[in-house]
Structure 1
Amino acid sequence: MSAVGCRVTSLFSRVFARCTVSPAAAGVGGLNERITSRAGRVPLVQSRARSGACHLATGKLVRNGEEKKAVICIEGNIASGKTTCLNYFSETTNIEVLTEPVSKWRNVRGHNPLALMYEDPERWGITLQTYVQLTMLDRHLSTISSPVRMMERSIFSAKYIFVENLFRSGKMPEVDYTVLSEWFDWITTNISIPVDLIVYLQTSPETCHERLKQRCREEEKVIPLEYLESIHQLYEDWLIKQTSSPLPAPVLVIPADHDLQKMLHQYEENRDKILSASYL
């Protein structure tokens, strides 16, 4: 078995070791509706089809014996300011912050599938995205140590945004896309992945491109503006227009084209709405 295969097998073992089978309960479906938060002008997109632990399909796997805690996912384009947002809230008591496991994507026993994907997405897209899907599931299912968990992105955006973009751009063969989709559908059908709120940092592709050039990460040097435009459109279709994929939770939209001080001010303004996610 290859080094990557060994790491994947090990992660699968840890993921499923943390799961138990839930008692039967009726699932809830429904339409999405747009509502406005009373606490301010920032738009809030509400979904009736919640993924919380109260509505589980028969036999769905859940984390072992955990009480309900709030899970907030910070979503947005590359260089939209997710790290800044997470750093800001990490200083708040009783919040657990989980960043994307980028270090794992850069080093799977000496291999860098993230860099390989950017260099040759048609060859390495499924390799990276399979590992992204697994490591994000590992993040979702890990034991929550605080009343509120704040995550950088989610298993949902991994599929709805980045896998979808590879396929639509013609850089992922249909067979690879089908395999990843089958895996994702099985995971979300059989494993409970509660999300209480999505915070969408809405940025223009141009702003993201400028920020990318300033932070100079090695793997990101090859990312063109067109790629960021595609990711932006997929996010808009999913979280704003709601015309592509299901929403796993309500969405709080924060305009994020501003400088650091303005963004910190916006996070403070929206603190109460973000941290009351478990009551939405």
Structure 2
Amino acid sequence: MSKDVSKLLKNLIKLTRGRRKSKMEGVMLNANGQKRPASSLEPSPTKKTNFVGLSPLGELTNIKTPTDRPFRVSVEGNIGAGKSTLIKYFQQTPGIDTYLEPLEWWRNVNGHNLLDLMYSDIYQWLNVFQNYVQYTRLVIQTSKPSSPSTTVQMFERSIQNNRFCFMEQAYRDGFLHGADYAVLDQWYRWIRANEDIALDLIVYLRSSPETVYERVKARQRPEEKSVSLDYLKGLHESHERWLMSDDERFNTIPVLVLDADKTLEEIVQQYKQNEDKILGYDKRKKFKAIEEDKNRVKKSLYFK
């Protein structure tokens, strides 16, 4: 990654620090004066999917296994869905490099806790936080494998998540000014064109907002004390729009959906049952997708 990226980040932070936004900045109104999303990405109005299994956009047989780098898989889901639990489950598996969310980076930027600042005053600090998150995810997602024997790189969330989930929600909710959104989008486009951030599979830990809300309260992370159920509902909708839509403007990466509302024991059992898929072994060993998987996806599709 070039030094220009780091320089760009520093300049962006200087430009945005200290600026306070009103609640309605970045929000568009319809003809009736009601708030409506100003997002550049909207779900397909004619076709929707509701599936639990492999995404029909990229069934298992269509997963592209790279020859010049490890298989890359990103674990996605709402706050409290169990992403770090899945990462830790595979952490000791030989040949797998795992990357937990860089919370400590966000908590200490030259002594500044950006995560806490963002949660305590989202209008003041969200843009700075989003810029830094995008930078740190870029650093992680372009990391070189730890050894020549590494066959899988597994990330807790991705730079794609930052762009198509958190950033879109912040813009729709009016937390992110239109100018800030445009700069972040342009930066993401540059990254996509100049850096290898490709993912081979997304594992979506799909959960209800109510379930993760109880988990967030139980784990008592200091920065999350202000996280509300409404915020988690918004994040859930953003994940659904990003990963459960068949609109290719949102996502073309194959998605494996797991039920994260279950108990820890049941969730771990899902990990075991889907281990070959999660680690790309099905494709690497030239296994064919199980016919039952294909049929389950087809049966669960519905069209409007």
Contact 2:142 2:195 in 1 (8 A): no
Q: Aligned partners of 1:142, 1:43: CA distance in 2, in Å?
A: 29
Cα gap change, 1:70 to 1:227, in 2 (>3 Å): same
SS at match of 2:253: coil
Equivalent residue number for residue 251 of structure 1: 255
2:139 alignment counterpart:
138
8 Å CA contact 2:63, 2:283 repeated in 1: no
Seen in structure 2, the aligned counterparts of structure 1 residues 172 and 9 have a Cα distance that, compared at 3 Å, is same
Where does residue 113 of structure 1 map in the other structure? 114
Q: Compared with structure 1, are the counterparts of its residues 80 and 205 closer, same or farther at alpha carbon in structure 2 (3 Å cutoff)?
A: same
| Amino acid in the other structure paired with 1:260 | L
Distance 2:166 2:73 in 1: 20
1:149 positional shift: 0.8
Runs of at least 5 residues in structure 2 that lack an aligned partner in the other structure: 11-46, 285-304
1:124 maps to: 125
| 1:71 to partner: Cα distance | 0.4
- Kindly state the Cα deviation for residue 266 of structure 1 after the two structures are TM-superposed: 1.0
What runs of 5+ residues in structure 1 fail to find an aligned partner?
A: 1-6, 13-32, 36-40, 55-65
Distance 2:203 2:7 in 1: 32
Q: Which residue of 1 aligns with 2:168?
A: 164
The one-letter code matched in structure 1 to 2:54 is: L
1:204 corresponds in structure 2 to 208
Contact 1:121 1:172 in 2 (8 A): no
Identity in percent: 40
The aligned counterpart of 1:25 is none
Q: Residue 90 of structure 2 corresponds to which residue in structure 1? A: 89
2:157 matched residue in structure 1: 153
Residue identity opposite 1:103 in structure 2: E
Structure 2 residue corresponding to 1:238, chosen from 218, 238, 242: 242
How many angstroms apart in 1 are the aligned matches of 2:180 and 2:73?
30
- Equivalent positions of 1:1-280 (< 5 A) are 8-9=6-7, 43-47=53-57, 67-145=68-146, 146-243=150-247, 245-276=249-280, 279=283
1:65-106 CA-to-partner distances (Å, cap 9, x unmatched) read x92310010000000000110111112221111011111111
C-alpha contact 1:106 1:113 (8 A) present in aligned 2? yes
Give the TM-score normalised by the residue count of structure 2: 0.72
Q: Secondary structure at the match of 2:235?
A: helix
Higher relative contact order (CA 8 A, sep 6+): 2
State whether residues 45 and 252 of structure 1, in contact with CA within 8 Å, keep that contact through their aligned partners in structure 2. Answer: yes
Distance 1:99 1:235, change over 3 A: same
Task: List structure 1 runs of 4+ shifted beyond 6 angstroms.
Answer: 50-54
Name whichever of 185-194 and 261-270 sits farther off.
185-194
The secondary structure found in structure 1 opposite 2:190 is helix
Report the 3-state secondary structure (helix = DSSP H, G, I; strand = E; otherwise coil) of the residue aligned with 1:74: strand
Deviation of 1:123 (Å): 1.4
